[in-house]
Amino acid sequence: MERIHGEVAMSAVLKPQARLDGKPDAGPAQEIRAQDPESQHIDDWRRQANVPPDAASAGLAFSGGGIRSATLGLGVLEALRDLKLLGRFDYLSSVSGGGYIMGWLSAHCHRHPGWLGAERNNVARWDKSIAYLSKYSNYLSPRLGMFSADTWTMLTVWARNAFLVQLTVVCGIVVALLLPHLAKDWFMSWPEHERWRWASVALFVFAVLCIAANQLHQRRRAHPPPPGSAGAERKQLQVALGICGMLTVGCALLGWYLWQVFDFQPFPKALPVGVHSGAVVRLGAPAVPIAMLIMGGALAFVGGVACAHTLAGRESAVNFWPDFGQGKVQLLVVLPLLFTSVGFSAVLWSAALKHRAPPLAFGDVFLAGLGFWPFPLSFAFAAVLVLACCSFKRWAGTKTRLRLPRFAFNLFLIGVCSVLCIVLLHASFAGIVVLMNTFHPTAGAWHAFIWGPPLVLSAFASTVTLMIGILGRASLEGMREWWSRLAAWLWIYAIGWNVVAMSAIYGPTFVPWLANLESWQKFVPVMGWIGTTVAGLLAANSGATKGDSKIRSREPTAMSIGLEVVAKVAPTVFIVGLLLGVAMAINFVLVKVGGGTLASAAELAQCQPHDCWRAFLENTAKPDPAVVRLALGAVLLLLLVLGWRIDVNEFSLQAFYRSRLVRCYLGASRTGRSPQEFTQFDDDDDLPVTDLASRRGPLHLINCTVNLGGSKDLSLHTRHGASFTVTPYAIGSGSPINGNGAIGFRAHGCYDNGGMSLGEAMATSGAAASPNQGFHTAPSVAFMMTMFNARLGRWCANPRRSNTSLGPWFSLLYLVKELFGTADERSKYLMISDGGHFDNLGAYELIRRRCKLIVVVDAECDPERRFGALGTLLRLVQVDFDTRIDLDTAPLRPLPDSDMSKAHCAVGRIFYPALRPGVDAEEGVLVYIKASLTDAVRDASLWQYHATHPSFPHESTGDQFYGEDQFESYRRLGRHLAHNAFGAGLDADDIDRIVALRPDFADALGARQGA
């Protein structure tokens, strides 16, 4: 065969412990081509099949489509065997249901040498195996019925696994909702502990310095030093380092001196309302220079560290300021600001609580606040000053005569900006205090705890907005974009705080609201929640939301739009109801264990909702802290145990799905089965996928999807996934992710258990029902599907990492990723699901390998012949491989006023780009076979089945329970499709092009053409 060139080969940079032979390599990491053992496999197979070694590569691909695709594919395989073409292919490429029957074929090739021959005794062996397949056509539940053990086993397996998953998730929710109860005491006592309040100051200063460093990085990047100035800059840095050191020491000493001279109290105990304005100003006057000195000293220290870092040669002298990504900004800026806002909102609540009568007026608070929070306010002033200084494009004009005026104007602008911003921030704080002053003394503590931090963050965001507006064109566009994204993250965290705190505190107040409803009305919210949840689950698993070809390719209908709406709304309703239910249960336990009493339904029905709500909040405000800590510790311990012991793979539905696929399709390949009498399962039916390296048949590529909904790679914002392949030699992906190269491949021998089994690979490739599903991933739907354990995908070791275990030993993190649809390529384990979530035809990997002859059997559910999977494939290979496919599908479309087509297959041309300059581009042939009916069908049984089942051959993929008539109809249709495609379906030009690529196909094609 022609060698696969390195430029297009799937390559993986494998670490020493990740060689394809599974043995450690004492040398450095090296690049190993995943195709090398593949090429050897194909060469060996060609020698056995008497295929010319220089013939073009050929691949046979079966699409997804569940048992429909598997059964139709069985007929295709029989026809290709009869035509003596089956052994002529170099590759077998399968997706989902197509993988069922190709797994059956590969297992037979390994267990029965000569299986692909058309001899009479071999045909008899095929017939015996096919009879076994027909017996297990209801592979999930061979015996259906209300009193069938198979049916009830399906239900009990799902119920057991769903319960364990739900228990884990609910424990996580309980931990999250207990934290506000624990934090409430800390919130109330925070203002009384001066040392704790210093922590808020430190966090705020740290966040501001990180922001300033990022701003300086952007300015430095926009205006780099001229070439050849490295030496001069190094000297300047040495001088700056000395100045920074002196400034840091000087600021510390001067700050301490002012503190002692003025006997400064940074955190007064009460709001000085009624004190003369002059006295108030004097109380806060020392705070400004002290804060400025501390902030300046901290900035000087950071600058000194940066300079020293550069002088040590660890960073380029061009830009030594750090450039933080999304994760570091959240960790180093957003979280410190959130904690600071919690602490300061506690201070504001304390101020409001100590002045209940008369009610506070805004003017009084605005003036008195200058003496109550001068120190935090001064730090805010210093922060605005520092950030404004760091936000300028240039400090001086570009022309000599304009440098001084520009510098003076910038100083003036900074002063005006800082004063106006601090006035706005101070006014916002005063407004928050006035608002909190209206809260009830007891129940209001919860209101302050819930709403205070988001309000403080909003005040900070408003101040930054004003600063950006005043600076205007003087700041860089990149800086304004940076501030906008920071504001977005602040809002996300503020909303998250609100959701958790409101659920924990306001959630139990749903009880008095419910108690005040009429008797029949009490059941409406509960039944509505259950009904919406069930409807959402059904909608999420329907074709209208999963992106099936029959839906995704046609105009939206009222039904499809309605299902989309239900699928989007139901998860929110479900999550809200779940949070309310858990919050009420927590409240019940805390009150009962803490020795409190719960009001009876009669008592609740007699009180007004507002009074009941306040009573609930007052009761909630007094849980025993010891009880809260005990409950939190116990649930957290249980959560950790569950995350450790409940395997995220084994307790999904994949194990159930895999065992039944193995019993049906791989069990059919064994002549001496000895199943367990009670369950009828035989563990020996399965075999390691590495056994397929015996080279007794074509190389089998099992196509899956690696889900990347949480990836930073913007090119995946619609795909949410990439191709992931299991071969007899390695598992992995050759698709480049985030500009860091491909995920890569890793040999099966690198794993403790020898890698995947064939059954595991088949089940993973067919994991259609999965919270993370490539193109069709939706976080809201993912939450519901995870909670109800509609999980057929699996977590597989990341080939980039040196894991020796194929699955994770601690499942909690990966369960959370499934819940929110945030699987990515950076974690130790990858979420792998149905190959149809990326390419449902199985041809993508064949085109990556530049196969010249590709035969695709498309059996997906596509009654209107919109060719959704084909269109997706054409776009993917054009974008990823610069490969164009020309294919006319007009003969395959339904005829007017009929669901029949003019033809079963179409032949197209594949235009591969040149591998390198000076090398000609290459051309291949695509034979595309579509499940369809035409006038050429002469089988009366097919027309009889079609008459009673009008959707044939595009019956729903959701139907995985085939009777004998259904099984035989798809099998017979598959035989007809293949005989037609390699006979009357090809014209003379098509045959000439195929034979030019593969002369060994000539006899079969010539005989059929002559017939």
Per-residue model confidence (pLDDT) at position 13:
33
The token pair that represents 972 in the structure block: 């017979």
The answer to whether 795 and 832 have CB atoms below 8 angstroms apart is yes
User: How many other CB atoms are found less than 10 A from the CB of residue 628?
Assistant: 22
- pTM, two decimal places: 0.82
User: How many other CB atoms are found less than 10 A from the CB of residue 61?
Assistant: 31
Per-residue model confidence (pLDDT) at position 403:
67
Q: Where are the domains of the chain?
A: 180-482
Per-residue model confidence (pLDDT) at position 231:
57
Position 104: which residue type?
W
Per-residue model confidence (pLDDT) at position 729:
94
Question: How large is the angle between the packed helices 964-981 and 940-948, nearest 10 degrees?
Answer: 130
Burial of 856 (0-12, 13-18, 19+ CB in 10 A): buried
Q: What is the enclosing helix (H) or strand (E) of 911?
A: strand 905-912
The answer to whether 1004 and 85 have CB atoms below 8 angstroms apart is yes
Cα–Cα distance measured from residue 742 to residue 732, given in angstroms and rounded to the nearest whole number: 9
The answer to whether 244 and 304 have CB atoms below 8 angstroms apart is yes
Residue 37: half-sphere exposure toward Cβ, Cα within 13 Å: 23
Q: Considering only CA atoms, which of 204, 296, 187 is closest in space to residue 250?
A: 296
The answer to whether 719 and 836 have CB atoms below 8 angstroms apart is no
Cα–Cα distance measured from residue 602 to residue 152, given in angstroms and rounded to the nearest whole number: 42
Per-residue model confidence (pLDDT) at position 164:
94
Cα–Cα distance measured from residue 798 to residue 804, given in angstroms and rounded to the nearest whole number: 10
Cα–Cα distance measured from residue 674 to residue 776, given in angstroms and rounded to the nearest whole number: 41
3-state class percentages of the chain: helix first, strand second, coil last, to nearest 5: 60, 10, 30
Per-residue model confidence (pLDDT) at position 270:
57
Quick one: CA dihedral 60, 64, 68, 70, positive or negative? positive
Q: Assess whether the previous peptide bond of 953 is cis (omega < 30° from 0).
A: yes
Per-residue model confidence (pLDDT) at position 385:
76
Largest CA distance in the chain: 111
Cα–Cα distance measured from residue 909 to residue 883, given in angstroms and rounded to the nearest whole number: 10
Spell out the residues 6+ positions from residue 639 whose beta carbon is closer than 8 angstroms to its own.
168, 171, 172, 175, 812
- The dihedrals phi and psi of 595, each to the nearest 5 degrees, come to 90, 10
Cα–Cα distance measured from residue 547 to residue 137, given in angstroms and rounded to the nearest whole number: 26
Per-residue model confidence (pLDDT) at position 4:
42
Spell out the residues 6+ positions from residue 79 whose beta carbon is closer than 8 angstroms to its own.
974, 975, 976, 977, 978, 979, 982
Q: Considering only CA atoms, which of 335, 338, 344 is closest in space to residue 372?
A: 344
Per-residue model confidence (pLDDT) at position 704:
96
Spell out the residues 6+ positions from residue 825 whose beta carbon is closer than 8 angstroms to its own.
706, 708, 711, 713, 737, 738, 743, 798, 800
The answer to whether 368 and 273 have CB atoms below 8 angstroms apart is yes
User: How many other CB atoms are found less than 10 A from the CB of residue 938?
Assistant: 8
Per-residue model confidence (pLDDT) at position 544:
46
Per-residue model confidence (pLDDT) at position 308:
54
135-148 pLDDT tens trace = 998 888 888 778 88
10-residue mean pLDDT profile of the chain (1011 residues): values are 40 37 35 65 92 93 95 96 93 96 95 84 89 90 81 91 93 93 83 76 85 81 64 60 65 64 60 50 54 60 56 50 82 92 88 72 76 70 78 63 72 84 88 87 82 92 88 81 88 92 83 67 81 79 47 58 79 88 85 62 53 60 77 94 92 91 94 86 93 91 91 75 94 82 87 90 90 65 84 91 87 89 87 92 96 96 92 94 95 89 94 86 95 91 94 89 92 95 88 92 68 43
Per-residue model confidence (pLDDT) at position 2:
45
